[in-house]
Amino acid sequence: MKVLVAQNCVATFGQMASAGDRLEEVIVPPPYVGWAELHAIRGPGAIRSWIDDPIVAFHKVAMPKGLVVRRSGAWLMSPEKLGSTRVSGPVAAVALAHDERQVGWRRVLWFCDRDGRERQMTVPEEHMLLYPRKVIGRLVDAGPRSGSPGSGAGAGGRARPNAGRTQVHGRGPWWLAWRSLCRIARHYWLG
Amino acid sequence: MMLRQIGRYVVAPLSDLSETIVGLRLVDPSGASDAWPPKAVDAPVLLGSLRRAAEAIIVRGGLADAMAIHVALGFVSCIFHLKRMQQICATGCWRRIRG
């Protein structure tokens, strides 16, 4: 039997996982609303959408306000209209890592590749700050999935005309949001 | 769904995993809730049947959230409404549902 845990936000998942763990069985509604409010505002179809195309949640990983990563991709949410705009494929920064000497900090990125597999890669913090185009290049080389938004638009989302391509920019709000994607408690050793 | 309104309260049955009613949850208009008997506070409100459902959803939040999900899924899923997340472990729900 498939078992899911529905709650109103990711941060309150409790002790059932370690920091940075992928919470595959957790479903949460869009930010700013609960399940009951979502049903009242958008109807049962919206709830079905957020269950079928769930938020990709990682324990103790806080996404920036307004950005939601679902299986269908990363979405910028508009609190006023409960609408959303897809900005890329599913990608998120989920952890920070360092070496044995506690230097060489790296950011751990999670994404789905074109074969549908979940993958992780690490990117030096130096590159995140100084050479964002290198980061973009490495990410593009790794083949992140950038397919159609699918059911993600079911909650009132409106895909951009070129939403079929993963868009990670060196400038602009998406890149700024991505750089500050998360603050988490998990560090682990490389090597 | 076996929910009843009695006076200003909504009354929902609390069940164990054999779907036997072991108590009642009373929800007042402000959303505050209490259980009777008090020892049944850890029992979930069960919406739907665990035996017939292909999917079980443990809802942490208000009873209204559980009902919204149950309605949206066409009444075919089994919904457990728990007051606190710790109850998943405390009641053994998670382990017992997963088998």
What's the complex ipTM? Answer: 0.77
Residue A22 or residue A49, greater confidence: A49
* pLDDT, mean of residues B3-27: 84
- Provide mean pLDDT across the span B8-27: 84
Closest to A57 (Cα-Cα) out of A47, A69, A49, A67: A69
Band (A151; pLDDT cuts 50, 70, 90): very low
Mean per-residue pLDDT for A3-29? 75
Min mean pLDDT across A32-36, A147-151, A165-169, B71-75 is at: A165-169
Among the partner residues B60, B71, B97, nearest to A6 by beta-carbon distance:
B60
Closest by CA position to B2, among listed B20, B82, B29, B18 = B20
pLDDT score of A182: 41
In A, which residues are within 8 Å of B57 by CB distance?
3-6, 27
- The larger pLDDT score, comparing residue A63 to residue A127, is at A127
- Treating both helix axes as pointing N-terminal to C-terminal, what angle do A44-52 and A35-42 enclose, rounded to 10 degrees? 130
Mean pLDDT on A7-19: 66
Q: Are A153 and A62 in contact (CB under 8 A)?
A: no
Chain-chain contact of A3 with B97 (C-beta, under 8 angstroms):
yes
State chain B's mean pLDDT as an integer.
Answer: 79
| Chain A residues touching B55 at Cβ < 8 A | 1-4
Instruction: Identify the closest residue of chain A to B93 by CA–CA distance.
Output: A3
CA torsion, ordered A36, B10, B93, A47, to nearest 10 deg: -20
Query: CA-nearest residue of chain B to A14?
Result: B85
Partner residue facing A6 (CB), from B53, B69, B94 = B69
Chain-chain contact of B61 with A35 (C-beta, under 8 angstroms): yes
Contact between A18 and B40 (Cβ < 8 Å): no
What is the tens place of the pLDDT at every residue in B31-78? Answer: 788 888 888 777 788 888 877 788 889 888 888 888 899 889 888 888
Cα of A53 to nearest chain B Cα, Å: 14
Say if the Cβ atoms of A5 and B56 lie within 8 Å: no
Q: What amino acid is encoded at A95 in this protein?
A: A
Tell me which residue range forms the domain holding A129: 5-189
Site of tokens 């602009």: A172
Res A150: pLDDT: 45
Residue B89, pLDDT score: 56
> Residue A19: its pLDDT value, please?
66
The pLDDT score that the predictor gives to residue B69 is 92
For residue A5, give the nearest of B63, B22, B61, B46 by alpha carbon: B61
Do the Cβ atoms of A96 and A187 come closer than 8 Å? yes
- B93 pLDDT band, cuts 50/70/90, is low
Query: Of A3, A8, A34, which has the smallest distance from its Cβ to B58's Cβ?
Result: A3
Side-chain half-sphere of B2: how many Cα atoms within 13 Å? 15
Sheet of A118-124, strands arranged across: A118-124, A106-112, A91-98, A187-189
**How far A63 CA sits from the closest chain B CA (Å)?**
21
Task: Quote the pTM value.
Answer: 0.71
Residues from A in contact with B at Cβ < 8 Å: 1-8, 12-16, 27, 34-36, 38-40, 44-48, 51
User: For residue B81, is pLDDT > 80?
Assistant: yes
A115 pLDDT above the threshold of 80: yes
Q: Which residues of B fall within a CB distance of 8 Å from A40?
A: 68
CA A67 to centroid of chain Cα atoms: 8
Nearest of A44, A50, A49, A43 to residue A29 by alpha carbon: A50
- Residue A24, pLDDT score: 80
- Number of separate domains in chain A: 1
Say how many CB pairs under 8 Å bridge A and B: 91
In this model, does residue A55 exceed pLDDT 60?
A: yes
Highest mean pLDDT among A123-132, A153-162, B86-95: A123-132
Looking at CA atoms only, how far is residue B36 from chain A in angstroms?
A: 24
Which whole number is the average pLDDT over A17-29? Answer: 78
Nearest to residue A46, comparing CAs of A157, A159, A160, A164? A157
Cα–chain center distance at A153: 16
